[in-house]
Structure 1
Amino acid sequence: MQNVIQNFKKLCEIPHCSYETEQMKDFLNAYAKEKEFEVNIDLAGNIHCIKGNPKICLQSHYDMVCMGSAPKIEVYEENGYLKAKNSSLGADNGIGIAIMLEAMQKFQNLECLFTNNEEVGLMGVNDLEHKLCSKMLLNLDHENENEIIIGCAGGVDIDAFLEYNTKEYFGKVYELNAINFKGGHSGIDIIDNPKSSIKEMARFIKENKGKIINFEGGERINSIPKYAKALVFFDDNIKSSKYIDCKFIGEKKEKICLESDILLDALNSFSQGVHSFNKKLDIVQTSINLGILKMSEKEIKINLFARSNLLEDLKQIEFETLTLFKAFNFKTHSFNFYPPWEGKENELSSDLLEIFKKENKNIKISAIHAGLECGIIEKKQELLCCSIGPNIYNPHSTDERCEIASIEKISKIVFELLKKYQ
């Protein structure tokens, strides 16, 4: 297991934020060739590696959500967890990659698929050109050691644009900063309905009758917003709250957004978070995340991401969100639509269940309210797919941590499965 941990720490030294994955691609390409794998890379940057006569393919994505100081990642161990100092850790999906690198060292009959830019809308896998030789695929992008996943949510990106005008105004200017927000993964952590920094900022400005000079917030479309900041005119003296820190920076002349009220009304009318829950699967069924808000010189842009484990519900929340923002005079469009993966128990899940039970009696077969690439790959060619992974908490945030004992457990299970298929 120490080899897997060391592999992961090596990966953390290589920048691999989404859209900036060239160095990681080069490293994985060189590593696979060094281990005598045949390697092919498609135009989307997906890396296909094969050696011998494999019956199963391991798959992980090699980009990460960079938060805080990332891509500079300072890894440390504390109380049985891997953590990163002032940045996201990248255990999603770096641990999966690290396990695959050790598997490439250990096994002669193996197929591996490293996919690119998963965290920004499963872009790499959507443009996958490779055809796999194996009939089974094990995705290593799950974040709970107690589950074998055979289904996942579908998703759709939604953009909303509002052109705005400005007017010079003299008054009391305040700098606002969001504080005490947890952030987190918009599929995994949204079940707790954590507060959105963008929503709370919009509420604070509206309740205090502010006029916006500038307002921006969020980090990634699939991260629950942790950060937000704004410059705002207030007629009255304003005090900080639990979630909004206020700093008076003087009376001065600035250009205000004349569409402030339209923007604030739209943001405060939007329903962030969980929309429905699936009691049978014990998971969130449908949700939406307002991930990013940006103001350029003349335009406000909002990026949202909706998920659902039911196709009809996904279409419904897409329609409702487009309709809402259109009602506030936004221009809207949706894209990157992909349907849910409604998998079934199969030979691979049965073999995994048998192996898991030796290590973990709490194991269950389930689905997840997040996007998994195996759901898309399965639709491109006929495969038996499952997803597993170690315990990762607060992914896509600076609080991300991964349980070391769980890494050992999942690595052992993967290697035992591979031995069975040699």
Structure 2
Amino acid sequence: MSVIENFKQISKIPHCSHDTAQLREFLREFCIDAGASVNVDEWGNIHAIKGSAKICLQSHYDMVCIGQAPEICMYEKDGFLMAKNSSLGADNGIGVAMMMDALKNYENIECLFTNDEEVGLIGANNFNSKLVSKYLLNLDSESDDEVIIGCAAGVDICVNFSNKIQKTSPKNAFLVEILDLVGGHSGVQIHQNLPNAIKILAKFLAQNNCEIVKIWGGERSNSIPANARAVVLCEKELKSSDFKITNLGIKDEFLKDSDKILSFINSFHQGVRKYDTSLNIVLDSINLSLINSDEDEIIAIMFARSMSDEGLDEICFEIQSLARALSCKIYFSDRSFAWKPEISEFAKSVCDELRAYNPDAKITAVHAGLECGVLKNCGENMQVCSIGPNIYAPHSVSEKVEIKSVHMIASVVDKIVKKYQ
């Protein structure tokens, strides 16, 4: 069975983050059938070893489910695999499919399938076993001309607003929605200035003197929001061709901190904060990812990234200062740490194999989180790098993977694994 066929097979099995049990059991049985000894830990990580392994392949098996996912209707168009009205799961299902192929074809190999990467590198951060191999090849990169040797640190920043309701004079109530923007990955696409649905909605509401009753927006902490909606009160009739607006009649309550919330969102600077022109890479960035209402509070969640731990500290301090100025509560969670770039002999060897297919291949770093930055400490003197096929618009309904690129990276992986038999 080819890598593409493996990918199509696992795409039929639900595996959204936090709901991966079905695919976990499938992969566990696959590894056993392939002749590997298998351990599944309490975090859902699947650790498989065959023979005398010298190289470990690693991918995560959860996916960001957008649109109709986990129901994935896959199709091929213009040399790409895509999905109708949903994310595709090529991030990181293609890597999983390559590992399945290697487990079937080789006698000396180690594979680590990690869980819940898309929601804070949960599996990798809690993996407490030792990797036996000297070399670790991560398959979660998304450009076939790069060998990744470093990645960004990241942290979720949660800002809480009071949600106490107070009466006001009766006004027109509206449901205002902005839907189906392009969305995207808040790391590798943050420099593309993709529209953020939450910020677009907040600007419209402020410009029309709306008072928020409830507000929701975004899909995942590491995705640029494609959808946002709010129930608001307004003295005038709201009209706009850019929004779906539904008149809900007359209401007489509003959110006490409406002005504060809109001020925070509209003053928040979305996107790139620092850029290194010599390396052609984003250094620091932040994305307003989610906003949700409940009975007691409104919670806005941002995801900050930096190529250095010091840069991440600086962003956290800036947002903390803004929150304090507005008397808001602020929390930080799920922090990961930067993987400092280091060109190893293994990375050079992988790049040489890649250049046989793509002469423009280069060694670089990525403005996103990679689990190998955490897992590199799970083996003694382990050399680590990451490669992957061309995947466009991950974490969105526009996600697609180039079939030719998948075959190319699969051939490179095959040659690398063969070298360490």
Alpha-carbon separation, structure 2, partners of 1:190 and 1:415: 32
Partner of 2:237: 237
Partner of 2:217: 217
Compute the displacement of 1:380 (Å).
4.0
How has the CA–CA distance of structure 1 residues 419 and 380 changed in structure 2, closer, same or farther, with 3 Å as cutoff? Answer: closer
Partner of 2:279: 281
How has the CA–CA distance of structure 1 residues 419 and 205 changed in structure 2, closer, same or farther, with 3 Å as cutoff? Answer: same
Compute the displacement of 1:343 (Å).
2.4
For each residue in 1:310-360, what CA deviation from the matched residue of structure 2 results, as whole angstroms up to 9, or x when unmatched? 221111001111221222121111122222101211121111122111100
- Partner SS, residue 119 of structure 1: helix
Compute the displacement of 1:180 (Å).
5.8
Alpha-carbon separation, structure 2, partners of 1:57 and 1:180: 39
The reply on whether 1:92 has 2:72 as its aligned counterpart is no
Compute the displacement of 1:25 (Å).
0.8
1:88–1:396 Cα contact (<8 Å) kept: yes
Partner of 1:166: 165
Alpha-carbon separation, structure 2, partners of 1:162 and 1:17: 29
Alpha-carbon separation, structure 1, partners of 2:134 and 2:321: 42
Q: Residue 310 of structure 1: which of 301, 308, 316 is its match?
A: 308
For residue 55 of structure 1, what is the amino acid of its counterpart?
A: K
Alpha-carbon separation, structure 2, partners of 1:198 and 1:31: 42
Alignment RMSD, CA only?
1.2
TM-score (norm: length of structure 1): 0.97
The reply on whether 1:247 has 2:214 as its aligned counterpart is no
Compute the displacement of 1:238 (Å).
2.1
Compute the displacement of 1:100 (Å).
0.5
1:173–1:232 Cα contact (<8 Å) kept: yes
For each residue in 1:165-192, what CA deviation from the matched residue of structure 2 results, as whole angstroms up to 9, or x when unmatched? 2134422122211146211000011111
- Partner SS, residue 285 of structure 2: strand
Partner of 1:157: 156
For residue 329 of structure 1, what is the amino acid of its counterpart?
A: S
For residue 284 of structure 2, what is the amino acid of its counterpart?
A: T
Partner of 2:48: 49
For each residue in 1:260-319, what CA deviation from the matched residue of structure 2 results, as whole angstroms up to 9, or x when unmatched? 001111111111111011122211110011111000012111111110002211110011
Partner of 2:339: 341
Which residues of 2 match residues 372-391 of structure 1 at below 5 A? 372-381=370-379, 382-391=381-390
Which residues of 2 match residues 41-190 of structure 1 at below 5 A? 41-169=40-168, 170-179=170-179, 181-190=181-190
Alpha-carbon separation, structure 2, partners of 1:71 and 1:146: 30
Partner of 1:398: 397
1:149–1:386 Cα contact (<8 Å) kept: yes
The reply on whether 1:319 has 2:284 as its aligned counterpart is no
For residue 294 of structure 1, what is the amino acid of its counterpart?
A: N
**Which 4+ residue blocks in structure 1 deviate beyond 4 angstroms?**
none
For each residue in 1:194-233, what CA deviation from the matched residue of structure 2 results, as whole angstroms up to 9, or x when unmatched? 1211011111100100011211100000000110011111
1:168–1:253 Cα contact (<8 Å) kept: no
Which residues of 2 match residues 401-420 of structure 1 at below 5 A? 401-420=400-419
- Partner SS, residue 316 of structure 2: helix
Alpha-carbon separation, structure 2, partners of 1:279 and 1:37: 46
2:162–2:256 Cα contact (<8 Å) kept: no
- Partner SS, residue 298 of structure 2: strand
Compute the displacement of 1:249 (Å).
3.5
More displaced, 173-182 or 64-73? 173-182
The reply on whether 1:360 has 2:358 as its aligned counterpart is yes
Compute the displacement of 1:254 (Å).
4.5
- Partner SS, residue 261 of structure 2: helix
More displaced, 326-335 or 395-404? 326-335
Q: Name stretches of at least 5 consecutive residues in structure 1 with no aligned partner.
A: none
Partner of 1:36: 35
1:213–1:254 Cα contact (<8 Å) kept: no
More displaced, 264-273 or 378-387? 378-387
- Partner SS, residue 359 of structure 1: coil
Compute the displacement of 1:49 (Å).
0.4
Alpha-carbon separation, structure 2, partners of 1:279 and 1:374: 26
- Partner SS, residue 281 of structure 1: coil
For residue 41 of structure 1, what is the amino acid of its counterpart?
A: V
Alpha-carbon separation, structure 2, partners of 1:6 and 1:36: 20
Alpha-carbon separation, structure 2, partners of 1:241 and 1:325: 33
Q: Name stretches of at least 5 consecutive residues in structure 2 with no aligned partner.
A: none
Compute the displacement of 1:15 (Å).
0.7
Compute the displacement of 1:78 (Å).
0.9
Compute the displacement of 1:415 (Å).
0.1
Compute the displacement of 1:241 (Å).
4.4
For each residue in 1:116-137, what CA deviation from the matched residue of structure 2 results, as whole angstroms up to 9, or x when unmatched? 0000010110001120000110
Alpha-carbon separation, structure 2, partners of 1:68 and 1:168: 37
Partner of 1:272: 270
Alpha-carbon separation, structure 2, partners of 1:210 and 1:164: 16
Percent of aligned positions that are identical = 45
- Partner SS, residue 386 of structure 1: strand
Compute the displacement of 1:145 (Å).
0.3
1:60–1:97 Cα contact (<8 Å) kept: yes
